Structure 1
Amino acid sequence: MTPDSSSGTAVHIRVDHATNAGDHAANVTGSTRERPRRPTMRSVRSPVLVSRTAELARLGTGLAALSGSRGSVWCVLGDPGIGKSRLVATVAADAASAGVTVLTGRAVLADTPAALRPLGEALLRWSRTAEVPDDAHLAPYLPALGRLVPQLGQGTDDGSAPVMLIAEGLLRLARALPGPGMLLVLEDLHWSDPETLEVLEYVADNAVDLPLMVVATARQHDTPAVTALMGALTARGAAETLTLGPLTPGEGAELARACLAADAPEELLAWVGRFGAGYPLFAEEILADLIDRRVLVQEDGAWHLAQQLDLVVPRPFVRSVEDRLSRAGGDAREVAAASAMLGTEFDWRVVAHATGLGEAAVADAFRELRAQRLVDIVVPDGFAFRHALTREAVLDGLLAPDRSRLAASLADALAVAGDGAPEPRLLAELAETAGEDERAAGHWLEAARQAAARGALTTALDAVGRARRLLPAGGVLDIAAREIEMGVHAQAGDVPRAVAAGEELVADLVDDPPRLAAARLRLTRALLAGGRWDEAAAALGAVTGHDPVEEAVLAARLALGRQDDRRAVEQARLALEVADGARVEVSCEAWEVLGRALRARDYVGAEEAFESGFRLADEHGLPLWRCRLLAALGALELAGRRPTEERLVAARAAALELGAIATAARIELELNLVRLRYLDLAAAQTAIDNAIEMMARLRLPDLATAHLLRAATHGLAGEADQMEAEIERARSHPMDEGIRRVGVPGHVRGLVALAHGRHADALAQLGEAMTYHREVPSTPFSLRGLWALLETALTGDGADAREEIRSGPQSNSPHNHFALRYADAIALGREGRAVEAEQAFADAEWAMPGREPWLELNARFLVAGAAARDGWGDPERWFRHVLDGFVDYGLAGAASVCRVAMRDAGFAVPRKAVGSGRVPVELQRLGVTAREYDVLELVVTGLSNKDVAARLHLSVRTVETHVTRLLHRTGCADRAGLARLVS
């Protein structure tokens, strides 16, 4: 509750027309909203900053660093009225003069502070006159910022805001803005909500390399959470702290001179400097009081003392308030006390009901309080304390019995006399003050439910904690609080804490079977989210008949996690059957599980399942499920014949808009896989860098996987050292044992070795992954079929390997099927069964057409070599196709190995790909290769894929792959777009 003043905009130095920090405080329901400026007594404000030279110089270094894209965060601390806002206003003016974009917002006094209110105000002020930058890195975050400022993007109706996404959006906004940088001023954070503090912490930890300067003001030691945060930021070097002390008597006299802006008696100036206690606000209040009482008058352009100063006892502001209250009648003091417990702004009808005074008596009381300059009218029909410090002084004068009595009366009055539904946090605080712990706890739990529903998870946990502190352990409300707490932890992605809370809850509910079953289902979900399959099975197994629909869908998720696709399908279909359309959200989940279980062996069935769930979510207005199923459809397209990014991009946008951060991060990884599959390594590197930056800032659990994906990107680009360094970075993060022992050798090192033609190395790495996969068959390993193919091609046998994969999980997935049939073709050809070998080779062709082109090329290389040795098929044509592909993809090592194999087989080796050197520069920049350009030239003439294949002596499938890559690289939607590109 600081009385610091600041300008109404971010760039004015003068503060004589400013509203006080308390002017935008809460109404009776705890909401905050902008109010018309109310009349005040004569304004006495200094138009300039007095003293603070050292502090201003330090802040100036932060401004200067913006031109070099060096960010900083500053915490300006001090007592109420010490001049924090005056200092910040001067810095803001200097920043604006230097071309820096200035955004200013403040927290307001409210018993129930609105989440992210200071940031909303800052963005609103800026957006009224500014244009949103057209920046690709900022664009995905505009929907999140749009929840605070509709002009920036379309947010949700409830106005909720995902905290980390808004923080990330601010960082990206600073980078996207024109000019030397951005200054964000956040004032009065001692009144702030927990979400704003989370944003400040996130920004402070990540602003150092961005042109962003943040200046936050707060009272010193007034709010423990703020004090702790600012201390922690300073301790770890993420912020610098400036603590303002009182002015000297000489500086106080100089301030008084600046306030009066005309000649004044030196006696008066010295007196104000001495009795203002070094606080600019107190000095200004003293001068205003003297002028209002006509002790100090202005004549002929100069100030004169009309009375002796000793007739008015100078005292600090709080004592002045107490003196004014003592002059008011008993009803007025009662009204002031009740009003102060409601906030800085309040509903007079609630005050009247709580005090039992009639409307006429309350009106008379407010007239007295206004005459004593304690309250003002807020248009059209409200009242507010003149300063936030006024309210604080009134509260300080209340004895505990008065507080308790008034709190109980106000809580009752809010239910019948308030404007709208009472805010549960305000009701909780009043009930707690009245000593009604159980009633207060009930309101805190409702506040927690509302906060969780709108995504304000920190606020929700705070409310749950306050409820639990008031309740005896083991009671009905305590159990309800713990259920909410567990759900909020799970919603926040904090699986360990959710599991711990669930296990504790289960242990305490042994005598309450219905609630015990519900708790076990919640615990099962948390365990499944953490991949703890055996524990999840035990928790689920202990529940029977409580909720057959949810039990079935959780059983399906468990089976899916263990890669038991058939049981997952059975349980998902059972859930859909039992739900029978009545449980829409559970049905959406069942469709998602069903699609995931089917996608490895039934592409069409998986697509139908995801589409069914998507339509259901869309029909019933379930945006999160709509987003998840859209993402599933986009991921499914990666395994399709013509993978595109359209659905994944749409799903990412929807996830960011909803604040589904983990979902958005996984979609980013899927998008990167699209680029890797066509070896668009520059674009892939940019995409994965961006994804890791976001995931690191948001502290998401998939960060180790993301680093391994970046390692694979480096490896495919031939950057072995960078690949190994990235693997080490991945290991520095929490990593599942399966990822460490299967993902690293199997999906990174083995894959990269295969891409570069190091087949023996690839076999060794994939074999290492298989060793762990045999121990834990539920560990995902999509390249098992390639291991069997390498075993067959390089060892001269491989029968056991082929049988192991064929009888294992997901043997019919595209990756495994095509590799197994290639391996079968090699084995059959080795036995002299040429016709059967060629049939097996043909069977493999339909499984992976264009889905992983460079991977297919390496597999076909192995088949071509075996066919050349054993005398079957068309190895020369296959070698030529493979060589062209390796050259197109820039896989020089693999191309060299292919040339050697061709020579050894007695085939002529072409030295240069057709069309080399003819690719226009603008297409080269897009990554279009010589072979792709050959295809492009024929496609735009209207030839079919079959005709193009015949002209270039390629397979139809290869032409389809080239066309897909051309569309992907150029961003064209169809062949007509390609034609326009080269016209």
Structure 2
Amino acid sequence: MRITSPVTIGRQEEISLLERSLTQLRESTGRTVFLVGEPGIGKSRLVDHCVQQAADRGIPVLRGRGSITGGGTPFRPLLEALSSHFRTTAPPADPELLPYRSALARVVPEWRNAAAPGRTESVVELAEALLRLLAVIGRDGGCVLALEDLHWADSESVAVTEYLADNLGRLPVLLLATVRPDPGTALNLARSTERRRVATVATLRPLTAPEIRALVAGCLDAPAADVPDAVVERLVARSDGNPYLAEELLADLVDSKLLSTTTNDPQATDGSQATNRSQAAGGWHVTGDLDTTVPTTVVQSFGHRLLQVDPPLRDFLLLAATIGPRCCVSALRTVTGLDDPTLFSRLRAATEAHFLVPDDSSPHDYAFRHAITVDAVLAGIPAAQRAALARRAADALREDGPPTPDRCQLVADLLVTADDRPGAALLLAEAGRLTMADGASASAVLLLERAESLAGPAHRAEITESLAHALAEDGRLDRAFALAGTLPTLGSTTLAADRMVALHTRLAWAAVVAERSAETVAQVAAARARLHNGGAPEQAAALAVVEAHLALLPGEEERLPDAERLAEEAADMAERAGLPVLACQAWQVLAMLSRTHGFDVADGCLERMLAVAETHGLPGWRFEALIRLGGNAFMRTGEARRLEQARAAAEDLGSIVLSQRTEGFLAMHAVLSGDPATAEEIIGRCLDAAGRMRNHATHRYLLLTSATLAAHQGRRRTMEHVLRAFRQAGGEGSLLTPVMLGLCRAMCALLEEDRATADAEFAAAAAWEAEHPNVYFLAGRYGLRPLLAVLAGTAGWAEHAAVAASPGAELAWNRQFLDLAEAVLLGREGRAAEAAEAVARVRRDPGRFPTGHHLGLRLVAEAALADGWGDPVAWLRTAEEYFHALDVPPVAGACRALLRQAGVNVAQRRRGRELIPAGLRAQGVTPREYEVLALLVDRPGNQDLARLLSISPRTVEKHLASLIQKTGRPDRAALCRLAADLAVHG
């Protein structure tokens, strides 16, 4: 007979939901569905149905599952899912996936590159990468990602699943996951995503009596009317509507001949042959007392079946069940000691006896038909025998090769069964440390927490130490701090002083990165309390580097000299002692501390940091050096070469987070460099992804960059809209506040010709900077605000000299405005030539920061007109042309008004002006004058020009005279040569 029903019974509502979800994939509408139910309720059957429907529609399916023995293996169900798909097809080579290949390499073995620098991607990076990959796989009609037994999955896989559920609504992806209703992270995820309305949760109910009858009829291949009522009543009572249990009980009834069918075929010797003739023989009949002679539970059913197999197979099954639901062939070989022919003979016999089935997720291994099967097999043996089997398996596996997280966890579970809790604790701790080394800090925390709960007094402190490190790595600093405080300070179980110092120093550094100064101080104090005689040099140096960061806090300025000296000593000691990571940390903080001496000194520290990182193969620290050097170079000179190197370094690392961080700087560079297309492309590509990935700092920076882009185009409404999103993302009160006030809002006010508002924004930025560390130098304090103060007459040479002597004055964006302020001061003193030369310095590079450059020309031209120096007409024409093309009417209009005030005829803005070469537009050539000039190529007379343009000869003479005056040409012949040149080169 069949062991399972050929059709899925009682799940029409869930089937309709899945089929609708598959249909919606054609409309690029994604969905997440959680199937929740007890073991055997039918979750996997629904997944099978969905997979078959997807295959019939040509929709790719990626299928993986969690494992009760693999909870400590990062991303196991995802790895299985991708392997199941790429086993028959190569991973896509789409260029859009290139930035994500390194992250995906964790779960796509074909993309692993042993030559690439080692780095552990964050869970969020992998989740975003997987989202992009699924979008590519499903773009021609959708795809299905099926993750079964999510309750057994590692924490990282659950986190990735949550990320996918939150973000695949507009992608052609169906995420289907199965979860037991047991308390835990997987069930919490299902419920929380349902509350957020990003997922549908289908809780599978027990089957009703009519549905049980239909299930039995399908198994027996008989009409439902032929199923005896007594059988249905028994299965309903004993299975509680669970279809798997109902099938197992039915199988036992048939095997024990209590349910049989009559056949006239003398050769029919098994149930399946009888089933094929059931209708002809009159159907199925009960042949005994179901309540007294048949096992009353599935456990008894399996116990009965187990007694019927040969003793060697029985022992084999007991040992396999002791190991767990999955029967890894290599583990069975190790534990049983059988040779391969005997081992595979036993596996084949166990499969034929319906205990084992081939493992879908690992084609060369086996699994028990269901987790219930394992429980049932083991329930019939005494606890002492089970403990002995577990000890035997644990001893064999422990000797079989180097430890892995999976192996350690499996052996630990066996030792718990064998009542060796301390031994299990040590193995779980080892699994936790290995898992943390692989970057799965959340799974490491779970393993170490379990280890701590099992540990005896002799090992609890060292396990607690590892747990505190894992919590810090996972960003759960409050728990890490609290746990470190519980470690004993006296007695035989106390950790060695150097380990305690290392732990508190590590936690202090984590607090520095999280910008938690109070906790940094507390952890430094705790570390110093454990030092003896000042501690070892490397301990003192590591603490000095952490403490140096504290000198950057508001109100701690007097500590800067000591902090700088200690950091220099730490860097020197670290390099001599061969501690490159500590050396990089020291050079990094030195670069921050030394900005007060100028950017040359700061860059020198970063160059040293870069050299150490490259010499010792530290790609993460190499990136940090490059991006800081790139940021400084961008501010100092306006060039982005080092930022491009940093982006390449991030791509080599395979870090999406670091790539986004670099892209943020490049987007701001594009805004200031007058390249809005590049800025918009970067923002459009990275902004939403950074938000999805909770890359909060970069997300805020990209929002501010988007607002700054709008501000530098005079689009206040767009700027304010983006700034609202910036504030909602935590931007208000962040270290970006002065940039928001000065580089963004004040600049927009200036492009609206509203100097009063600009002054107020700059004043707010200055007030904020007075209360906080000065992190950003482009917010106006060192450039644009001093220029406005000089123009307003509220600042003179003394104030200008004070700003010009600061490190911020070295930066190219600021330098242009300070040079213009100097020109204004010189012009007021009648030093016209020197003033003009100061403006000329600025005009040598108009394309570096075009908006700032032309705004500066508009501002300085007003002072030059008033004081009678320089060439303000040419500056205003250039600025007017730029802001007209940029569509910033207030500034363009102000330029035209100043030109009229200077007594210059201002050309009307007629159609065709965009066809005039930029040089001629800057000289004030009008569209009609350009038409006249273009016709001079053939040297026509005035009468011919008048006829061609339908104007009078007198008007032609006026246009020619104006062209000679505006272009500086001596005569008509020279105009003809100019027209010929334009025709050739135009």
The AA in structure 1 aligned to 2:453 is: R
The AA in structure 1 aligned to 2:294 is: V
Contact residue 165 and residue 659 of structure 1 kept, 8 A:
no
Q: Match of 2:498, SS?
A: helix
Contact residue 883 and residue 899 of structure 1 kept, 8 A:
yes
Q: Match of 1:148, SS?
A: coil
Where does the alignment leave 5 or more consecutive residues of structure 1 unmatched? 1-41, 921-929, 931-951, 955-981
- How far 1:793 sits from its partner (Å)? 1.4
The AA in structure 2 aligned to 1:216 is: A
Report what 1:165 is aligned to. 125
1: CA distance between counterparts of 2:358 and 2:145?
A: 32
Contact residue 100 and residue 654 of structure 2 kept, 8 A:
no
- How far 1:192 sits from its partner (Å)? 1.8
Report what 2:396 is aligned to. 413
Report what 1:461 is aligned to. 445
Report what 1:199 is aligned to. 160
2: CA distance between counterparts of 1:914 and 1:500?
A: 72
Cα 1:196–1:296 shift into 2, 3 Å: same
**1:521 pairs with 2:505:** yes
- How far 1:459 sits from its partner (Å)? 0.3
Deviating more after overlay: 405-414 vs 691-700: 405-414
Q: Match of 1:237, SS?
A: coil
- How far 1:766 sits from its partner (Å)? 0.8
Cα 1:57–1:755 shift into 2, 3 Å: same
2: CA distance between counterparts of 1:735 and 1:486?
A: 31
Contact residue 334 and residue 355 of structure 1 kept, 8 A:
no
Contact residue 610 and residue 625 of structure 2 kept, 8 A:
yes
Report what 1:666 is aligned to. 661
The AA in structure 2 aligned to 1:57 is: S
- How far 1:74 sits from its partner (Å)? 1.2
Pick the aligned partner of 1:236 from 196, 211, 224. 196
Pick the aligned partner of 1:444 from 413, 420, 428. 428
Report what 1:631 is aligned to. 627
Q: Match of 2:542, SS?
A: helix
Deviating more after overlay: 723-732 vs 448-457: 723-732
Report what 1:709 is aligned to. 705
TM-score by length of 2: 0.76
Contact residue 864 and residue 878 of structure 1 kept, 8 A:
yes
Pick the aligned partner of 1:675 from 670, 677, 680. 670
**1:318 pairs with 2:299:** yes
1: CA distance between counterparts of 2:848 and 2:593?
A: 20
1: CA distance between counterparts of 2:967 and 2:391?
A: 89
Cα 1:377–1:519 shift into 2, 3 Å: closer
Cα 1:872–1:796 shift into 2, 3 Å: farther
Report what 1:213 is aligned to. 174
1: CA distance between counterparts of 2:432 and 2:386?
A: 25
Contact residue 109 and residue 191 of structure 1 kept, 8 A:
yes
Which whole-Å deviations, capped at 9, do the CAs of 1:826-852 have from their partners, x for residues lacking one? 223323344554565566678x87543
Report what 2:954 is aligned to. none
1: CA distance between counterparts of 2:488 and 2:889?
A: 59
2: CA distance between counterparts of 1:301 and 1:252?
A: 21
Which whole-Å deviations, capped at 9, do the CAs of 1:727-749 have from their partners, x for residues lacking one? 23333344573537534322321
Q: How does 1:375-454 map to 2 (within 5 A)?
A: 385=368, 387-397=370-380, 406-417=389-400, 423-454=407-438
- How far 1:457 sits from its partner (Å)? 1.9
1: CA distance between counterparts of 2:419 and 2:910?
A: 85
Q: How does 1:669-748 map to 2 (within 5 A)?
A: 669-702=664-697, 703-735=699-731, 737=733, 739=735, 742-748=738-744
TM-score by length of 1: 0.76
Q: How does 1:25-64 map to 2 (within 5 A)?
A: 44-64=3-23
**1:118 pairs with 2:77:** yes
**1:899 pairs with 2:868:** no
The AA in structure 1 aligned to 2:671 is: L
- How far 1:781 sits from its partner (Å)? 4.4
Report what 2:146 is aligned to. 185
Pick the aligned partner of 2:821 from 811, 814, 823. 823
Cα 1:445–1:138 shift into 2, 3 Å: same
Q: How does 1:895-974 map to 2 (within 5 A)?
A: 895-907=892-904, 909=906, 916-918=913-915
The AA in structure 2 aligned to 1:296 is: G
Task: Note the aligned Cα RMSD (angstroms).
Answer: 4.8
- How far 1:769 sits from its partner (Å)? 0.9
2: CA distance between counterparts of 1:820 and 1:501?
A: 54
**1:298 pairs with 2:273:** yes
2: CA distance between counterparts of 1:587 and 1:291?
A: 73
2: CA distance between counterparts of 1:368 and 1:123?
A: 32
Q: How does 1:326-725 map to 2 (within 5 A)?
A: 326-327=307-308, 336-346=317-327, 373-374=354-355, 385=368, 387-397=370-380, 406-417=389-400, 423-471=407-455, 477-493=459-475, 514-533=498-517, 536=520, 540=524, 543=528, 545-546=535-536, 547=538, 548-555=540-547, 557-558=549-550, 573-580=568-575, 582-593=578-589, 610=606, 613-614=609-610, 616-639=612-635, 641=637, 643-644=639-640, 648=643, 651-652=646-647, 655=650, 658=653, 660=655, 662-702=657-697, 703-725=699-721
The AA in structure 2 aligned to 1:674 is: H
Cα 1:323–1:135 shift into 2, 3 Å: same
Contact residue 641 and residue 849 of structure 1 kept, 8 A:
no
- How far 1:710 sits from its partner (Å)? 2.9
Q: Identity of paired residues, percent?
A: 32
Which whole-Å deviations, capped at 9, do the CAs of 1:466-518 have from their partners, x for residues lacking one? 2333457xx78555445444444443455666566667779999997534533
Q: Match of 2:776, SS?
A: coil
The AA in structure 1 aligned to 2:501 is: A
Which whole-Å deviations, capped at 9, do the CAs of 1:846-901 have from their partners, x for residues lacking one? 8x875433223323432332233223333333333333433444433322222223
- How far 1:609 sits from its partner (Å)? 5.5
2: CA distance between counterparts of 1:468 and 1:448?
A: 11
1: CA distance between counterparts of 2:155 and 2:372?
A: 23
1: CA distance between counterparts of 2:709 and 2:478?
A: 31
- How far 1:185 sits from its partner (Å)? 1.8
Q: How does 1:83-102 map to 2 (within 5 A)?
A: 83-98=42-57, 100-102=59-61
Cα 1:612–1:914 shift into 2, 3 Å: farther
Q: Match of 2:439, SS?
A: coil
Cα 1:279–1:539 shift into 2, 3 Å: closer
Cα 1:724–1:413 shift into 2, 3 Å: same
2: CA distance between counterparts of 1:712 and 1:659?
A: 29
Cα 1:778–1:159 shift into 2, 3 Å: closer
1: CA distance between counterparts of 2:391 and 2:193?
A: 40
Contact residue 398 and residue 411 of structure 2 kept, 8 A:
no
- How far 1:592 sits from its partner (Å)? 4.4
1: CA distance between counterparts of 2:301 and 2:316?
A: 18
Q: Match of 2:862, SS?
A: helix
1: CA distance between counterparts of 2:967 and 2:486?
A: 68
Cα 1:895–1:571 shift into 2, 3 Å: farther
- How far 1:103 sits from its partner (Å)? 2.8
Cα 1:695–1:365 shift into 2, 3 Å: closer
The AA in structure 1 aligned to 2:854 is: L
Which whole-Å deviations, capped at 9, do the CAs of 1:100-148 have from their partners, x for residues lacking one? 4433322334254532222223223333556766766654334322321
- How far 1:757 sits from its partner (Å)? 4.1
Cα 1:835–1:348 shift into 2, 3 Å: closer
Contact residue 596 and residue 807 of structure 2 kept, 8 A:
no
The AA in structure 2 aligned to 1:693 is: D
Q: How does 1:771-920 map to 2 (within 5 A)?
A: 771-782=767-778, 783-785=780-782, 786-798=784-796, 801-802=799-800, 805-806=803-804, 810-838=808-836, 841=839, 850-907=847-904, 909=906, 916-918=913-915
Between the two proteins, the alignment pairs up a number of residues equal to 880
Report what 2:745 is aligned to. 749
Cα 1:211–1:746 shift into 2, 3 Å: same
Which whole-Å deviations, capped at 9, do the CAs of 1:915-941 have from their partners, x for residues lacking one? 953499xxxxxxxxx9xxxxxxxxxxx
Contact residue 671 and residue 705 of structure 2 kept, 8 A:
no
The AA in structure 1 aligned to 2:749 is: A
